[in-house]
Structure 1
Amino acid sequence: MTSTTPSFADLGLTPELLQALEELQFQAPTPVQEQVVPMALAGQDVAGQAPTGSGKTAAYGLSVLQLLDLKLDAVQVIVLVPARELALQVRDALKKLGKFMPNLRVAAFYGGHAFREETASLTQAPHIVVATPGRLLDHFERRSIIPNQLKTLILDEADKLLELGFQDELVEIVKRLPRRRQTLLFSATMSDKVVELIRKNLTRPRVVNAGEDTDELPENLTLLGHVGTVEKKPAALLHLLHQPETGRALVFCNTRERCMELTRFLVGRGVAAEVLHGKMPQPERDKALLKLRNGSSQVLVATDVAARGIDVTQLDTVVQYDAPDKADAFQHRAGRTARAGAEGTAHLLVTDKEQAHVKKWPVAASIQWKAMHAPKLPPAASKAPRPENVTLHVSAGKKDKVSAHDLVGAFVNVGRVAREEVGRIEVFDYYSYVAVPRQQAKEVAERLAGAKVKGKKVRVSVVE
């Protein structure tokens, strides 16, 4: 008779992996691990719908670690991820799972720092490469990574890879991989574009559905409630945003008007804040999000509707300036931080009446309540804050066949920006955004005026 609760041993994993799982205190497989590991170990292609927090990294990680040939000095697994932060998290998770595998080599490659740092780690081929698409293509072109012995390709957070415009890079990467390989794909949502990606790149995949979103809040999330009068809220928010641990923050308001009013207040008090609401045109929304992602702003003030479906990795803090009406809205907001195993804090600013409403929800049991701390407000600043990074707008995009890879080349070769100082790049259909250090922005824009990217003459301007 089979046990109702399966163990990791039941999945047919090696003693080395079971030892690591025990040390990491993984008790039992999550549903996605229970389904994916046996299929992947059997060499099948898998398309998994799995949200952050479902244990998908260990689901594919355990499988590919077990199938590695550690004596073979070649890249055998490539994990493609949408962002630098995720590349580092996945690399670290795989290293921990493979702790007891002798001579295991796992490397992470991503844009935003010097190539020499990465080529140094390639003197001996890593068994597993975790990379963002643009940087992986750079390595392919330099032949610093040769994937001719690849066994498995993993597309992690496929929906985000597509949302961030990496379609062209994915096509280019797949062209250079062996036809006979295993492909595993994971995505929080199964949009038409993701389904098309599966159809083109996976062979007779087994489909696993571990749900779109979990009801539970992330484990590493701290919930703090601050109780006081409505009049104290602006000063309390400003105080929270000035704390060094607050970092990058998303602030929720219940109405568009409140969002705009609060953003004006924060900018007037020296906080680099942007607003995001449903009535904004798409380019303006893209710009507001991009500034938060690339460090050109510290705070994004948003409505629930506008924030649905947005993704900002490395979001340290969420502040609910207005208490939401329903528990699921509260969870959705709070769960925007502490994603993918990172730590995060969610603050809630409430009056006595709002607190009484929130306390009716089961999820409120984990909120630590305290009195609102609202120091005297400083006078309005005469100048808007100046973050270290500035965003440049480039008048060419995907429809001009321009990729992030092309833009890096132009900014390094023509704009004379050191490769490691080119910040986050986002490519849209007809334009692109590139983050560069503030002190270089004006000169870089001038150098690139009239330059050609993929044969198209471009205009470059500073985004204010």
Structure 2
Amino acid sequence: MQTPDSPAASPFAAFGLAPALLAGLADLSFTEPTPVQTLVLPAVLDGQDVAGQAPTGSGKTAAYGLAILQQVDVALPQVQAIVLVPARELVLQVRDAIKSLGKHLPNLRVAGYYGGHAMRDEVKGMQEHQLPHIIVATPGRLLDHLERRTFIPNQIKSLVLDEADKLLDLGFQEEMATIISRLPRRRQTLLFSATMPDKVLNLVREHLTKPRVMNAGGEQEGSRLPENLTIHGHLLAAENQKPAALYHLVSQPEAGKSLIFANTRDRVEELARFLRGRGLLADALHGKMLQPERDKAMLKLRNGSIHILVATDVAARGLDINDLGTVVQFDPPHDADTFQHRAGRTARAGATGTAHLLLTTPEQHKIQPWPVTSSVQWARLTPPPLPAALPKPPRPSTVTLHVSAGKREKISRGDLAGAFVSLGGLEREAVGRIEVFDHYSFVAVPEEVAAEVQARMDGAKVKGKKVKVAVVR
């Protein structure tokens, strides 16, 4: 007998998805398809090529992720689907989302490849018995693998071009054309883009076969922002009022986790120091940082070790933080697409969120004519005085620990959770977010016991391997 919350009773069952995928959706508490999933899934599952216009946070990753997982034969040790995305952060996000959706498919392997990551580690992981079923990659890195023939793409059933407009903006057109020329002609191609300019439509015409062109961009033409997003435009009398206004906005209890956009690396570092000096848990994210440092900053925000991340647009491309409550554009966006990208980081997948703009009157005059800013609520803001800088930085409620072992050492989230309970002395519910990378992992623990747990775990054995454990600073 079906219960109301059983996988078979899910509205997703109407799409004819495999029971293992319905179980994955239930684990993720996906109870109702989003509009883009309702629109796209029937055509994609029917085998048609699809060109979909969809905003950030619309659920498009699950739409194409479910479709390619439905087709994957986990008994066949070959690469069967490729997802191309414009940035390494998006590689990690999409890889993890597909893994979560397919967690009940036995022996499913999903890999993420991107520049800045050691090529030798990726090649080592692509030995004959460990070939992934699905690859999520940036175009340049995937082309490197094809040139080296680390895998043969003759079993590819599906190709996904995600954020196609950004792929083209970043100059990946030649790499994509070369990649596509090496794939089987008989395949399904899915393209998703927040915008559909001529260059994206040319990509559709060149590489998709009789595609279904769908627009899941919302009701208002020119506005692709989430429906549950509130946008406030704060007009300041002078540029030098912006720091006080920023502090005022992100220090409010209702702000929650916050993402602040600045236009330069120096400004990002300056603002992160400014906020930390006044008692807020903040960190920086920009393109000059090495990838492990970027991973640490993102993890600290996700697990609560920090509450605020200050980032450049390039570094923040593709970030997906489900419980992000606030976005602040400290520096004005260069164009309408940048405005949309920034504001759309919050209020994703049906959640509510608030975006703020800090602008002088001349800056307002520049962006107000953009159609995408039509929903901005404008008001004058005179920020209250700033508090004095603190002599010491605040203490977080959660501390992130670095563990010197990861996937290549056959360490899983479950292995780490068990070790931190049995060896570290934590209650199971006290173990926070765990993220496992190739040769290292991060584990969030309560601040009040972090030193004791770190001392117990440093030098302990996890799955037979001695590990080093240190606090992430």
Q: Is the 8 A contact 2:57 2:344 kept in 1?
A: no
Q: Is the 8 A contact 2:319 2:345 kept in 1?
A: no
Task: Render the CA deviation track for 1:153-195: whole Å, top value 9, x for unaligned.
Answer: xxxx99656644986996884249xxxxxxxx9x9999969xx
Q: Alpha carbons of 1:199 and 1:330: their partners in 2 closer, same or farther (altered >3 Å)?
A: farther
> TM-score with structure 1 length normalisation?
0.63
> TM-score with structure 2 length normalisation?
0.62
3-state DSSP class of the match of 2:357?
A: strand
Amino acid at match of 1:417: L
Q: Which residue of 2 aligns with 1:408?
A: 417
Rounded to whole Å, the distance in 2 between the matches of 1:199 and 1:405 is 35
1:144-223 correspondence to structure 2 within 5 Å:
163-164=95-96, 173-175=105-107, 208-211=190-193, 214=217, 216-223=224-231
Rounded to whole Å, the distance in 2 between the matches of 1:168 and 1:245 is 30
3-state DSSP class of the match of 2:443?
A: strand
1:37 aligns with one of 39, 42, 66? 42
Rounded to whole Å, the distance in 2 between the matches of 1:340 and 1:58 is 11
Alignment coverage as a number of residue pairs:
342
Shift of 1:199: 9.4
Asked whether 1:256 is paired with 2:265, we answer: yes
Shift of 1:318: 0.3
1:241 aligns with one of 250, 260, 263? 250
Identity in percent: 52
Shift of 1:454: 2.4
Asked whether 1:365 is paired with 2:374, we answer: yes
1:55-94 correspondence to structure 2 within 5 Å:
none
Task: Render the CA deviation track for 1:213-241: whole Å, top value 9, x for unaligned.
Answer: 65601111111001111111111111111
Rounded to whole Å, the distance in 2 between the matches of 1:281 and 1:59 is 32
3-state DSSP class of the match of 1:366?
A: coil
Q: Which residue of 1 aligns with 2:180?
A: none
Shift of 1:310: 2.2
Q: Is the 8 A contact 1:224 1:368 kept in 2?
A: yes
1:33-432 correspondence to structure 2 within 5 Å:
33-37=38-42, 40=45, 52-54=56-58, 163-164=95-96, 173-175=105-107, 208-211=190-193, 214=217, 216-228=224-236, 229-432=238-441
3-state DSSP class of the match of 1:280?
A: coil
Rounded to whole Å, the distance in 1 between the matches of 2:227 and 2:327 is 15
Following TM superposition, where does structure 1 have runs of at least 4 consecutive aligned residues deviating by more than 3 angstroms? 44-60, 157-173, 187-193, 198-215
Q: Alpha carbons of 1:53 and 1:296: their partners in 2 closer, same or farther (altered >3 Å)?
A: closer
Q: Alpha carbons of 1:47 and 1:387: their partners in 2 closer, same or farther (altered >3 Å)?
A: farther
Rounded to whole Å, the distance in 2 between the matches of 1:285 and 1:253 is 16
Q: Is the 8 A contact 1:221 1:338 kept in 2?
A: yes
Rounded to whole Å, the distance in 1 between the matches of 2:40 and 2:240 is 52
3-state DSSP class of the match of 1:316?
A: strand
Rounded to whole Å, the distance in 2 between the matches of 1:168 and 1:400 is 21
Rounded to whole Å, the distance in 1 between the matches of 2:282 and 2:253 is 16
Shift of 1:387: 1.8
Q: Alpha carbons of 1:378 and 1:38: their partners in 2 closer, same or farther (altered >3 Å)?
A: closer
Q: Is the 8 A contact 1:33 1:55 kept in 2?
A: no
Q: Alpha carbons of 1:35 and 1:424: their partners in 2 closer, same or farther (altered >3 Å)?
A: closer
Unaligned runs of 5+ in 2: 1-13, 16-31, 71-84, 109-133, 144-150, 159-185, 196-216
Task: Render the CA deviation track for 1:332-389: whole Å, top value 9, x for unaligned.
Answer: 1011111111011110001111111111212222111111231011110111011210
Task: Render the CA deviation track for 1:100-147: whole Å, top value 9, x for unaligned.
Answer: xxxxxxxxxxxxxxxxxxxxxxxxxxxxxxxxxxxxxxxxxxxxxxxx
Amino acid at match of 1:290: L
Q: Is the 8 A contact 2:346 2:352 kept in 1?
A: yes
Amino acid at match of 1:416: G
Unaligned runs of 5+ in 1: 1-11, 14-25, 64-76, 79-156, 177-184
Q: Is the 8 A contact 1:319 1:349 kept in 2?
A: yes
Asked whether 1:452 is paired with 2:457, we answer: no
Kindly report the root-mean-square deviation, in angstroms, between the aligned alpha carbons of the 2 structures.
4.3
Task: Render the CA deviation track for 1:419-453: whole Å, top value 9, x for unaligned.
Answer: 11111111122211100000111111111121111
